[in-house]
Amino acid sequence: MASLIAPHGSEQLNPLFVADDNTRAQLIQEAASLPSIAISSAAAGNAVMLGGGYFNPLTGFMNKADALSVGASLQTTAGLFWPTPVLNLVANTGDVSVGARIALLDPNVDGQPVLAIQQVDAIETLSAAELETLTQQVFGTTDAKHPGVAEFTAQGNTLISGPIQVLNYSYFESDFPDTFRTAVDIRNEISTRGWKRIVAFQTRNPMHRAHEELCHMAMDRLNADGLVIHMLLGKLKPGDIPAPVRDASIRKMIELYFPENSALITGYGFDMLYAGPREALLHAVFRQNMGATHFIVGRDHAGVGDYYEPFEAQEIFDQVPAGGLKIELFKADHTAYSKKLNKVVMMREAPDHTKEDFVLLSGTAVREMLGKGIAPPPEFSRPEVAKILMDHYQNEA
């Protein structure tokens, strides 16, 4: 068996999902008699990520001191490198009290079943000033039009902190049985395949030619054994392409344009933060936890609108303290098809090109073409991928 990269902050991965069937059944029974609280979609995503081992070595939701410390200095009060607060934020605590065990109800599944049980170590309030400061630190803005800011500030300002026991993976296992995988699952698969150098690619969008070639470039230059395409399966902003359509288009691309057994298609259960640089750091943490040795960070990684500079998500890695992360970056430039060279290149590696030498299409232009049933040029999108996307857009029309 290949020796895998160590998880973040510990020697062994510590997933918080209760794997033993009997213990889990007892906890589900216990939950029926506990005080309960319907949590936010963001907190539910945090629970799923904690359950799957992605947020190792955290044992539950952060308290106020840790949240403010992470916001200010990218580390917990104990000195663990961590980029974004992992919180159970609520507007109303109901009859929840410190010292109690409580059932956390899943807002994303019909009937709001119990997702996890939490031990309440503290109930604390963030002042308006603290919430604003934390928002600015995590998102780089307090603009309510930023989708991540809107979601974060809508949850409430009361923190319920303490360890959790996760009882299921929300809707992700049932809705995405072929794609949803925990960090434990991915580590096991990498180990079975004997891969030693593993590149992770983050996506919330379908993959066009530029993304495809970027993955090939990273694998070639790093002499990697395998690629893990890791797609976000949770909530997105309006207008983003739904996960099942993305999944189908990526599977088609891998099937046709990648060597057999060179890529794993996987997904994780989390809502997009659109936090740009801070989210890139979080992505690196949980890619290390799932066993990847290298992580592709490109232009405007995890960004939205014009809130972040093009390569800010790469530059923030300079702030990671020595030894803070073991995973290594593959820094990617904007990629585009070169008409001069008849292939996809990183634009910084083609200094003799002008803008006219590249096939450049904005996401908006591509969506408009797809909506009209027009296939984007083959230099931009593989025809088989474009067909899946065109069918989606025309069904939406």
Q: Give domain limits for the chain.
A: 21-173, 178-396
21-173 folds as: Sulfate adenylyltransferase (3.10.400)
- State the maximum Cα–Cα separation within the chain, in Å, rounded to a whole number: 69
Q: Show pLDDT as tens, one digit a residue, over the chain (397 residues).
A: 458 999 999 999 999 999 999 999 999 999 999 999 999 999 999 999 999 999 999 999 999 999 999 999 999 999 999 999 999 999 999 989 999 999 999 999 999 999 999 999 999 999 999 999 999 999 999 999 999 999 999 999 999 999 999 999 999 999 999 999 999 999 999 999 999 999 999 998 888 898 999 999 999 999 999 999 999 999 888 878 888 999 999 999 999 999 999 999 999 999 999 999 999 999 999 999 999 999 999 989 999 999 999 999 999 999 999 999 999 999 999 888 999 999 999 999 999 999 999 998 776 778 788 888 899 999 889 999 999 999 998 887 6
178-396 folds as: Rossmann fold (3.40.50)
Active centre residues (catalytic): 204-205
The pTM (predicted TM-score) of the whole model is 0.96
Q: How far apart are the first and last CA of the chain?
A: 50
